[in-house]
Chain A
């Protein structure tokens, strides 16, 4: 019964979406207040209906209702509860339902909290949201229905891939979708603005918080996926340039450009058509990602099972959803004349450089991801594009970008003094140069590229710090004054500084872990030890243990600081496992990781040899925790920015305690 109610709710939501797509638009065109006002309750009820549908599917999973085909295919009664719930979105149909849930959630949020929005803009924004919802709901109901029944019901389900039975992975899709789908808000605002023919500071002030929230969530989603791959897949990489990873990275890159561009629209009334275009492209890349994962044109660890008509449907959806706005853009964007004139060397100029580099970076990832497909289709043979390509093309683009990250915020609006900024940043340059030298010295003057990476990371962090000290005039005015200035600085400034510094931290983490990893692969007999970096690892024994739905061989490895007596307290005890899941017939390895602030000690249990020894792979990964720590810090920076009161006030208002126009020297 409940699944049928869920199905019915979905169908009703489709009808509401159709209403929401059409009526408010007509109202906005005619200036009819009542029709325009119908958008908000439509968006809210659409959310309630989809939420009910999602609840129904979750209920079916939690109660292991195998009469529902989707549950039978993806779940099992022996699965722990958390994974029964996360199994809801661990498959094609369920993940689409999550997608639409978040889409309608954002729509309802604008409807509820958008009291300050001009009615026509609000109506148009919600109408565009409605159209997207209409497309996806139709896609679900016609090709990917999660509520189909199975008759006769099987006695138990086919289970869930054990790799996916993991807390990190359980939360990866929701955050990812909050990001992907969150960018639909910026998209809807952009299309609404094109329809209205007007982009002003008020519009940008409205767009910025939604874009910031979506960007933050996407950052966390990508970081979670990367972290999960690192600790779960047992081969310890954290980024593989897999097509589907790339599909989430491209919207992040363009979304970052969008975020910065929107700032310029708000503050300087410039870069309007850039910002609109970026908003359309970001969501377009999200949709493209959805297409790539579910259509069968690319094979990857991530792809869902595919079906020809699904591929065609999403492709058509993509073409209409992006082609339409781009056509509108071509017609209306020329009329969006900006007011703010600026010289190339200025903060706006730095933003334009930022946009250019990020967009070319996204295009590079796009090229690398889709080139093999297109080349094969036109008969040019089959090639593969892997990490080496991206390392050679993407990484060099990041170098000028990272240099600009420290210099950009220090430049004045409209007309900046580059020489002055660079002089002010000389401390940051000195710190970076010192870091490069230290890195080179500690590695026998090899690894120049890695040292450069360290230097760039330090440059970015030091640059952010210096920007703050210069704004509060540290050491140039009494401490009390500096403190007062610090407290008076807007939260968006702190958000920016934290996020930029966090980027530097991520760069440091990626560089160090890629360049200076220590690896030890040996056959180890129980009772003997191996040496890894500053640690001694002693293999006590390997025993068999039982888990809720698996059987495992578990090794007990006692870790000491190298040189410490074996009777001293151990640093930690590591328990790597090799698991077998009988229902799915899969084997997995669970790495054991000891994380400190500066590094990870990562141990994997390999195969036994015939003589009672076991292959142990042990790694010391320096600064790897900084990658995910940095990503979370970036998200935190975004939250700090979001908490800035000016974002919660809808109407444009001149900021009273705003950032100084020209940063004091």
Chain B
């Protein structure tokens, strides 16, 4: 179940990772093999351009971005998997180059925070609802009161101590 949720989330981030961002890829960089090229584009969209403001190396026309795009394609042609190609760049530039922060102990709060907050909020609200309903619900009747209610419903004299007239 968790696996499926995580897979869905990963799919979401890849599906939307493109946005409508337009590539800075030059025609001479594009690989002949479309599958490899598609993988390269997917990888370069996840790498931050270090000399730009908030762009991926796929979007940026900075020279460093171009060099790294070529490098990624070289690694893929050499047979690297996607993780290996990404890992190659991260080994040299550090975690900062990843636009998707790695899931480590230092980023647990970042990754699990939103879900934790949602659950905490939902629990808090449900408890409040529970408390309010309990407060609004009247206390159950005790025996004497129950008898009086029964008597009233049957139409008998109001007070058991009064005798005679209805």
Contacts and interface: CB of A to CB of B under 8 A. Distances in A.
Contacts of A517: 18, 20
Contact of B102 (A236, A368, A383, A522): A383
12 contacts: A235-B24, A243-B54, A300-B54, A381-B94, A383-B107, A388-B99, A389-B101, A391-B15, A391-B17, A393-B111, A394-B114, A397-B118
A604 to B, nearest CB: 7
Interface string B16-43: 1111111111110010000000000000
B23 A237 contact: no
A359 B125 CA distance: 13
B117 A360 contact: yes
Interface stretch (A188-196, A495-503, A615-623): A615-623
B64 interface: no
Contact of B106 (A375, A449, A514, A607): A375
B31 to A, nearest CB: 12
B95 A387 contact: no
Interface string A231-242: 000111111111
A371 B121 contact: no
Give the 4 A-B residue pairs with the shortest CB-CB distance, closest first.
A386-B99, A388-B100, A236-B22, A237-B21
Contacts of A513: 19-20
B85 interface: no
Interface stretch (B5-13, B69-77, B143-151): B5-13
A384 B19 contact: no
Nearest to B95: A383
A230 interface: yes
A323 interface: no
A449 B46 CA distance: 19
Nearest to B54: A242
B107 to A, nearest CB: 7
Nearest to B100: A388
Contact of B96 (A364, A383, A449): A383
A521 B23 contact: yes
B129 interface: yes
Interface range on chain B (Cβ under 8 Å from partner): 35 or more
Interface string B95-139: 111111110001101110110011001100100010010001000
A235 B106 contact: no
Contact of A519 (B23, B53, B136): B23
Interface residues of A, number: 66
Interface string B54-83: 111001100000000000000000000000
B101 A624 contact: no
Contact of A392 (B9, B30, B95): B9
A382 interface: yes
A450 B15 contact: yes
A519 B22 contact: yes
A12 interface: no
Interface string A576-588: 0000000000000
Given A364-B117, A387-B13, 4 more contacts: A383-B101, A386-B56, A387-B17, A449-B12
Contact of B22 (A368, A371, A388, A617): A617
Contacts of B17: 387-388, 391
B110 A356 contact: no
B20 A230 contact: yes
B121 A389 contact: no
A309 interface: no
A514 B99 CA distance: 18
A389 to B, nearest CB: 6
A384 B101 contact: yes
